[in-house]
Amino acid sequence: MAFFIASSPHAHNRKSTKDLMKWVAIAAIPGLLTQTYFFGWGTLIQMLLALVVAVLLESAVMLFRKRSPLSALRDYSVIVTAWLLAVAIPPLSPWWMMVIGLCFAVVIAKQLYGGLGQNPFNPAMIAYVVLLISFPLQMTSWIAPHSLNPSDISLYDSWKLIFTGFDDDGFSLQQIRVGIDGITMATPLDAFKTAVKSSIPTQEFMSLPPFSFIAGTGWEWVNIAYLLGGIALVKQRVIQWYIPAGFLLALLSFSCVGYFMSPETIGSPLLHLFSGATMLGAFFIATDPVTASTTIKGRLLFGFIIGSLIFIIRTWGGFPDGVAFAVLIANMMVPFIDRYTKPRTYGH
């Protein structure tokens, strides 16, 4: 029998990259279904479109590099990238936005750096930021949850809105987003920021239909679903709890202090924790093993930095949500974090 000599560590967690990515996709299913329930069929259509485009792009790049496409596709990393981008953009965004976003995510942010394991930035968040800066109107065109939407958008109408820009009755997405009262529906974080700039009392504004007891109508259930999926990932040891803990602790701490000091201008802790992409970011985006910190102390600090930046951007920045920007800024800091949180060598 051959005797193989290998350097330490000799422990093996028995989970391949394929297994890890598969578990991430499975754990995200509750969030996907909840998002589809509240915001319509567009989420599933965007998901299918993203998966097809991502696989084609990954295959084309690998062929261009004279490598086997199967070697890149079998780890499912491109599937997770497409999945995250599909649930991050508005459900009825034009189809070409998904194509542009995935071109940046797969070709530039991932393969241009050498493929999986070489990219310094989260590919899905690179794509999201590019789309948000380039097409701010389309990227903020979220429709109201079904309970607040005066018109029922069918599967066929969703398909036509994504690929033609109009539904079967000839209405555009912007016309559909306008409610019966003539006010365009916005996300809870965007609506709250607009109310603060307009000097509308917080208590009065939070009593309006877009908000519920916890946070925004529909959004709190989406975040709860991703929270449950994230807990499943931690329990299965697909991810470790350090980054989500630091992320949520920072966001909770700063929002509690801010809300105590200025409740009229800063959202409540519940609004911050259960609105926007908070739970998706904490458990599915920030925990990317390639672009996150690798040490235990570093992961806690990495998550804490992201949570702090999200609060700063939401409160004083120009964008209603700051998960993507916070993650990318923290990605830049990973070499510095790892250098100064490196554990002491045994015996020194």
Indicate the pTM of the whole model: 0.88
HEC string for the chain: CCCCCCCCCCCCCCCCHHHHHHHHHHHCHHHHHHHHHHHCCHHHHHHHHHHHHHHHHHHHHHHHCCCCHHHHHCCCHHHHHHHHHHHHCCCCCCHHHHHHHHHHHHHHCCHHHCCCCCCCCCHHHHHHHHHHHHCHHHHCCCCCCCCCCCCCCCHHHHHHHHHCCECCCCCEHHHHHECCCCCECCCHHHHHHHHHHCCCCHHHHHCCCCECCCCECCHHHHHHHHHHHHHHHHHCCCCCCHHHHHHHHHHHHHHHHHHHHCCCCCCCHHHHHCCCCHHHHHHHHCCCCCCCCCCHHHHHHHHHHHHHHHHHHHHHCCCCCCHHHHHHHHHHHHHHHHHHCCCCCCCC
**According to the model, what pLDDT value does residue 197 have?**
72
**According to the model, what pLDDT value does residue 187 have?**
76
Residue 96, both tokens: 């070409």
**Per-residue confidence in pLDDT tens, the chain, 348 aa:** 565 565 555 555 566 778 889 999 999 999 999 999 999 899 999 999 999 999 999 999 999 988 888 877 888 899 999 999 999 999 999 999 999 999 999 999 999 998 888 899 999 999 999 999 999 888 888 887 876 666 678 888 889 999 988 877 777 777 776 654 434 456 778 777 777 777 666 666 666 666 666 777 788 999 999 999 999 999 999 999 999 999 999 999 999 999 898 887 888 898 899 988 999 999 999 999 999 999 999 999 999 999 999 999 998 988 878 899 999 999 999 999 999 998 877 776
Please state, in angstroms and as integers, the Cα–Cα distance from residue 58 to each residue in 52, 71, 118, 269, following that order: 10, 10, 15, 40
